[in-house]
Amino acid sequence: MLRVRRRTVVVAAAGLTGVLLTVVLVAGWAGSGNSGVSHVDGNASAVVYAAGHRPMAPAFTATTLTGSTLSFSSYRGKVVVLNFWGSWCVPCREEASTLSAVAAQYQPSGVSFLGVDVRDTTASAEAFANRFHIGYPSVSDPSSVITLDFTAVVPIAGTPTTLVIDRTGRVAGAVFGMATYPELTAILAKVTGKAA
Amino acid sequence: MTDVRAPETDPFDPAAEQDDQPGQGPASAAAGAFGLADWLRWAWRQLTSMRIALILLFLLALGSVPGSMLPQEGNDPAGVRQYYTSHPGLAPVLNHLGLFNVFGAPWFAAIYLLLFASLVGCVVPRTFRLAGSARLLPPRAPRHLARLPRSAEYPTALPPAGAVEVAARVLSGDGFRLRRPADPADPAGTGHWVSAEKGYLREAGNLLFHLALLGVLISVALGGLFGYKADRLLVQGDTFADTRSALDEFYPGRFVTAADLGPFTITLNKFDASYIPSGPQRGQPAAFDARISYTEQPGGPTRSGHLEVNRPLSIDGAKVYLIGHGYAPEFRVTDARGQVVYNGATPFISGTSGNFLSEGVVKVPDAQPEQLGFTGVFVPTAVDVGGTLESVFPAADNPVVSLIAYAGNLGMNTGAPQSVYQLDTSGMQRLTASPQVLAPGQSLRLPSGQGTITFTGYVPWVSLAITHDPGQLPALICGIAALGGLLLSFMIRRRRVFVRASAGEHGTTVQVGGLARTDAGGGFEAEFASLAAELRSAHEQAAQRPAAHHRQEGE
C-alpha cells in the first residue's frame, strides 16, 4: 500500500513537471488570439480593426516642426493617416516616398495626413521633409510621449508605425513597420468606404 | 536499528529510502521484462536522483563561466563586436556555439530545464513524505529498553500504571509527543509503557526548506517569464517615455510585451561627475549624481529624484539603474545650400583608452546634394603628445573634437537598421586627408563648398538600465525561508525516550531508554541523564505524596 502511495506521488510530481514544462514551451509559440482584427493582403503587419473593435485614439497637443501648436482633436470628423517616423530610421526613409504619394492621392478626397517625428531634432526632421517633399505637417515627439499614449491602445513596437484614424477618432487600421502602397490604399479604402 | 522498529515511513531511515531506489540500471532488472514504461520510470528516477541534480548544477555553473568571461550580446554588444575584430577566426565559432549569448543558448536552456525538472521531481515527493513524517506518532516502546544506546532502571513504590502515568506527565511537560498502548491492562498486550519523541521541528524545518526551494524555483521562473530588461542612453536635458520605440534595447521575458512597460517618463535635468584631481588615484571617479524628474504616468504629477550608482529609482514596479555616462558633443551642420541639416547632441562612447576619450559618428542623411558623415573623437582634457591627441583627465577641462568628414551614400535609404555608432564608409568619399581638430565654437569648412560643421558644445549623457523582476522579492523571501529551514533541520535533533513499568517480586521496576535519531552534534547523553533523573525524582515524589497527605491530616 505504501509503495502504491509513493508511486502515486512520484507520478503526480512527474505530471506536474511535465505540465510546467509544457506551459513554458508552448507559451513560446502560442500567439495571442485577435478578434475583430483582419489582416490586409494576408500581411500580419497591416491590419484593419472591425467597427466595434476600434480603440479610441488618445488626444494630444504638440508643437509642429515649424513651431506652431497642433491639437489632434481638431482632426475629429476626418480620416487621418498618422505616421510615426524619424529621420534616423532606415525603413522610414524607405516608406517616405510612398507616404508622400498616398498623401497626394488621398488628400483631395478629404483624408488628412499627420506625422509624429520620434526621437529627432527639428533640423534633421525638416531636412528629411524637404528631401522627400513631405507635404503634410509633423509634430515633434522627441521623448516618445505621444508614442507612449498610443501604445496604451495599439501595440506600437517601434518606428515606423502608421495608424489610420476614422472619422469618429478611433484607430481603424495600422501598419506596423514599413508601410507599402498596397497596404495603405487597402486600409484607406476600407476605412473611408465604411465610414462614408 | 535492530531493536527499535522504525516507523513505516521515515525519511531519515536510509533503509526506507532504498526500497524504492533505482536499481543499478536497467541491466539489473529481470531479463526481458523491461518495457517502455520501465525505461521511462528508470529515466525519471535517474533524472530526479540527487547525483544527476548535482551534476546538472555543476554543469549550470560551468556553463555560466563563458558568460562571465566573454562579452555578451545582452549587456555588452560593443564588446562582442570588439571581440570579432580582435579574434576574427575564433569569434564566429564561439557565436555558433552561442557563447556570446550564453543565457539564451539552447544548450543552457536544456541544462536549466532539466535541473528544474530534476529538482521538482525530487522535492515534491520528498515534501509529501516529510509532511507525513512530521505528523507521525512515535513508535511503540521496544521490549528491552536496556539494549538502547541510553538506558536507566530504578525501582518505585508506585504501581506500574501509576508510574507510567507520572512518566507521561513529565515527558509531556517537557514537550515530547507521546504514544500509549491501546489497553495496558490487556494480558495479551505489551504492558505498561509510554513512547515519547521530540524534535519534530526538524521535520518542519526540512519541509520548510523543500517548500522554499520550490518557491525559489518558481520565483526564478516568474522573473524569466514576466520580467524584462531595457537600456536607454539619455542626454542631459532630454526626456524619454518608457515605451518600446524610446528604448535602445529591450529584452522582454516570455510573457512580456511592449504593452507591459510601465508608462513613466524620465527627464535628465543635470548630470555631475567629479573626479579625484590629484595624487595616485588622479582621474578616478569621486562621485556621480544624476538629477532627474519623472512622472509615473502620462499627465501625472512630476517628481524629482536622484540616481546614483547602485542606488536605483523604483518607478511603477521597475527599477532604473544608472549604469554609465559619457559625453555628447553638439554639432551644427549646414549643407551646400546653406541649410541647417543637423543640429543637436550626439552621444559618443568612451573606449578602452581611458579618461573618456570617446568615439562617435555624425550622420547627416538629408544634406544635399550629397549625404554627409563624420567620424569623430571627443577628448575631454586634450594634450598634444607628439602629434596625437590624448585625454589626460576624464573631466571636460580642455575639450576638443577631432573629425574626419565623408560625403556620398550613408547606406541609410534601404536595407537593415544601422547602428548609430558606426559609419558605413563603403559608399563614401573621404573629404579631409587628416583628422581636423575643433575646439568648442570652431567650424570646419568642407572642401568644394559641400558645407560646414560647427562643434557648438557638449553635454553629458547617462545610460540607464530599466529592469523589472517580479520574482526578486519572492526569491529573497524563499531564500531566507530555505536557510531558516535548513538551520532548523541541522540544529534540531529528533530523539526518542521510552518508559516501561513492570511489576516484579520486589515491587515496580521503571525502565527508561532513549536514543537520538540523528546525534551528529552529540549532547544527547547529558540530556538523557537529566531526563532520567527528572523522571526518577518525579516518581519518588509521587510515591511520597500519599504519606505527605497523611501527615498533613494528622496535624
> Could you say which of B19, B254, B417 has the minimum Cβ distance to residue A27?
B254
Q: Which residues of A touch B365 (CB under 8 A)?
A: 87-88, 93, 128
d(CA B242, CA B246): 7
Q: Do B221 and A84 touch (CB under 8 A)?
A: no
Does position A97 have pLDDT exceeding 70, yes or no? yes
Domain boundaries, chain B: 14-135, 145-199+493-543, 228-468
Q: How far is B69 from chain A (nearest CA, A)?
A: 29
> Could you say which of B116, B128, B332 has the minimum Cβ distance to residue A9?
B128
Q: Do B240 and A143 touch (CB under 8 A)?
A: yes
Helical (H) or strand (E) element with B430: strand B428-430
pLDDT at B74: 64
Q: Do A124 and B368 touch (CB under 8 A)?
A: no
Contacts of A160 (CB under 8 A, 6+ apart): A83, A84, A85, A86, A89, A91, A92, A95, A177, A178, A179
> Could you say which of A24, A90, A147 has the minimum Cβ distance to residue B417?
A90
Residue of B nearest to A17 (CA): B117
> Could you say which of A14, A90, A156 has the minimum Cβ distance to residue B415?
A90
Q: Pick the residue of A143, A149, A161 with the most B CBs within 10 A to test the interface with B by mutation.
A: A143
A87 — pLDDT class (breaks 50, 70, 90)? very high
pLDDT at B446: 94
Q: Do B239 and A16 touch (CB under 8 A)?
A: no
> Could you say which of A3, A122, A152 has the minimum Cβ distance to residue B20?
A3
Report yes or no: A138 and A100 within 8 Å, Cβ to Cβ.
Answer: no
pLDDT at B412: 85
Q: How far is A128 from chain B (nearest CA, A)?
A: 6
Residue of B nearest to A86 (CA): B245
Residue among B423, B284, B270, B275 nearest B348 (CA): B423
Interval A46-58 mean pLDDT: 91
Domain boundaries, chain A: 1-31, 37-195
d(CA B243, CA A147): 7
Q: Do B245 and A157 touch (CB under 8 A)?
A: yes
Q: Which residues of B touch A94 (CB under 8 A)?
A: 413-414
ipTM here: 0.80
Q: Do B339 and A89 touch (CB under 8 A)?
A: no
Q: Pick the residue of A8, A60, A141, A148 with the most B CBs within 10 A to test the interface with B by mutation.
A: A148
Q: Does CATH place domain B145-199+493-543 in 3.40.50.300?
A: no
d(CA B337, CA B334): 8
Partners of residue B527 on adjacent β-strands = none
Report yes or no: B512 and B162 within 8 Å, Cβ to Cβ.
Answer: no
d(CA A98, CA A88): 17
Report yes or no: A101 and A182 within 8 Å, Cβ to Cβ.
Answer: no
Q: What is the CA radius of gyration of chain B?
A: 38
Amino acid at B488: L
Q: How far is B198 from chain A (nearest CA, A)?
A: 25
Q: Do B413 and A93 touch (CB under 8 A)?
A: yes
Residue among A120, A163, A110 nearest A142 (CA): A120
- CA distances (Å), B367 to each of A93, A137, A175, B362, B408, in order? 14, 20, 29, 12, 10
Tens place of pLDDT per residue across chain B (555 aa): 333 333 444 433 433 333 344 444 444 445 567 788 889 988 888 888 888 888 888 888 888 888 778 887 766 666 777 788 888 888 888 888 888 888 777 888 888 888 888 888 887 888 888 888 878 888 888 888 889 888 999 999 888 888 999 999 999 998 899 998 877 666 566 788 999 998 888 888 888 888 888 888 888 888 878 889 899 999 999 999 998 889 988 888 878 877 788 889 999 999 999 999 888 888 888 888 899 999 998 888 999 999 988 889 999 889 999 988 999 999 999 999 999 999 999 999 987 667 899 999 999 999 989 999 999 999 999 998 887 888 889 999 999 999 999 999 998 877 677 788 889 888 999 998 889 999 999 999 999 899 999 999 999 999 999 999 888 889 999 999 999 999 988 888 888 999 999 888 878 899 999 988 766 566 788 889 999 999 999 999 988 876 544 444 443
> Could you say which of A16, A17, A87 has the minimum Cβ distance to residue B365?
A87
Q: Do A145 and B417 touch (CB under 8 A)?
A: no
d(CA B325, CA B309): 11
Q: Which residues of A touch B260 (CB under 8 A)?
A: none
d(CA B97, CA B109): 13
The number of residues making up chain B comes to 555
Residue among A77, A82, A120, A76 nearest A103 (CA): A82
User: What is residue B474's three-state secondary structure?
Assistant: helix
CATH number for the domain whose boundaries are A37-195: 3.40.30.10
Q: Do B365 and A16 touch (CB under 8 A)?
A: no
Amino acid at B237: G
Report yes or no: A69 and A60 within 8 Å, Cβ to Cβ.
Answer: no
